[in-house]
Structure 1
Amino acid sequence: MSHHDPRVDAYIAQSAPFAQPILERLRALVHQACPEVEETLKWRMPSFLYAGGIVCTMAAFKRHVAFGFWKHALVMGAGVERDGMGSFGKMTSLRDLPPQRDLLALIRKAAALNAQGVKTPGPRKAAPRPRPEVPADLAAALRGNRAAAATFRAFPPGRQRDYVEWITGARRDETRQRRLAQTVEWLAQGKPRNWKYLQARP
């Protein structure tokens, strides 16, 4: 018997109106394809588990919905690129979903891979990512604080990106302004974005 998690109900209810029918359809198809699937939240998004592993995940964003298989390359086949976290690109309406028969077959394939204990291939070494583009408001804030600017310049690209993505990920202007101020404060103290977690490590 399939397991429905009330947190997924809440996630869907809190999503944008355009996203709700897409999420509901995806959820129903996952349960139809794999009746024993279990739901949970991982990384704050609905995830579907079977045979001890993740089968697929779905997430609602401001303007689109993403649905992705955990073993994307094995499920979708060689050469099918992953669009961010999604296996089918950015979906904005039910029309963007693949045909029901095809999607059910893919979900069953993903579940079967878990049941067979097939592991995800190891990641290929990617080329180093360049330094992030600094948004204008962050650049202006850094110009006003020498210590913060020096820390930011000295950080490797990944730590710079942590701050940039945190700031640009704010949905409201007041949130963005608050994060900007916090960024400058932490940088002036020489701290990376996730310094609290780094301190907690044994």
Structure 2
Amino acid sequence: MPTLWPKPHSDQGLEGTQLMSKPNHSPKIDAYLENAEPFAMSILAHLRALLHATCPEIIEELKWGIPHFDYRGEMMCIFAAHKRHCSFSFWKDALMSDARLKANADLPMAKRFMGKLTNVADLPSDGDLTAWIKEAMALNEQGIKLPQRKSEGPKAVGIPEAFSERLAENPQVKAIFESRSPSFQKEYNVWIGEAKTDATRDKRIEEALAWIADGKGRFWKYSKPG
């Protein structure tokens, strides 16, 4: 599968995209980018290229349906595409020197410094990004860990009422859903529960019912064929 790879410009840094094959790229991340909105594809392809150029040993993983980048056996950074924005963060940003990265390190990615990217121009300069990647690499190389957070216990995720009602109307799908693991159920419950409008919620429910009927998990699109 071809990989989207930003084409460097001599006077502007990494901009634009072109299709090139990169052997150290995960096919799952390729698929993730190809399914993203065009604006998101450009932003994430730019970041991906900069990560590999700065850290050739970086390892790509799709965890919980989101691209993660590991280095020296530890997570280093994460990016994600949403319908109208992208997010990018460093796993150990709370330990990094730039105040912008440290400011909201305890919040979800979408509420951090680079949590609402809508255009490549929203990104900090390649110089800043490269410096941060190198700093994140050094933290992993030195084995520096994030301080342990106090456990508040697992947060229960209930099934959205509208989803429960539709499952009740489809007993065969409901039986499949209830027979699957708690994590399988949680992924659907969270996805449907996070819908901002009734229309979005209903669309997600319809997709969920069809996928569950086929025994597919929420992130089946990004799973490697068996």
In the alignment, is residue 81 of structure 1 matched against residue 116 of structure 2? no
What is the aligned counterpart of 2:93 among 47, 72, 76? 72
* 2:136 is equivalent to residue 113 of structure 1: no
Match of 2:192 in 1: 167
Q: Please, which of 69, 77, 81 is the counterpart of residue 48 of structure 1?
A: 69
TM-score, normalised relative to structure 1: 0.64
1:47–1:56 contact (8 Å) kept in structure 2: yes
- Over residues 108-146 of structure 1, what are the superposed CA-to-partner deviations in whole Å (9 max), with x where a residue is unaligned? 1011100111111112567xx9x99x98958xx6xxxxx
Deviation per residue, 1:41-61 (Å, 9 max, x gap): 111111111111011011101
Query: What letter corresponds to residue 168 of structure 1 in structure 2?
Result: G
Of 99, 119, 122, which aligns to 2:125?
99
Q: Distance in 2 between matches of 1:68 and 1:22?
A: 13
> What amino acid is the match of 1:80?
A
RMSD: 3.8
- Relative distance call for 1:178 and 1:26 in structure 2 (3 A) is closer
Q: Is the 8 A contact 1:2 1:36 kept in 2?
A: no
2:58 aligns with: 37
Residue 35 of structure 1 aligns to a residue whose secondary structure is coil
In the alignment, structure 1 segments of 5+ residues that lack a partner are: 142-161, 181-202
- d(CA) in 1 for partners of 2:161, 2:27: 41
On the 8 A contact 1:31/1:37 being kept in 2, the answer is yes
Structure 1 residue ranges, 4+ long, deviating more than 3 angstroms after superposition: 76-79, 134-138, 162-166, 169-172, 177-180
Percent identical? 42
Query: Counterpart of 1:18 in 2: which secondary structure?
Result: helix
Question: CA contact under 8 A between 1:55 and 1:70: conserved in structure 2?
Answer: yes
* Alpha-carbon distance, 1:3 to partner: 2.3
Q: 1:2–1:80: structure 2 CA closer, same or farther, 3 Å change rule? A: farther
2:49 aligns with one of 19, 25, 28:
28
TM-score w.r.t. length of structure 2: 0.58
C-alpha separation in 2, matches of 1:32 and 1:179: 38
The count of residues paired between Structure 1 and Structure 2 equals 166
1:176 equivalent to 2:205? Answer yes
1:122 counterpart = 2:148: yes
Indicate the structure with greater strand content: 2
Q: Give structure 2 stretches of 5+ with no counterpart.
A: 1-21, 166-185, 210-226
Q: Give the aligned partner of residue 176 of structure 2.
A: none
* Alignment correspondent of 1:151: none
8 Å CA contact retained: 2:39, 2:119: yes
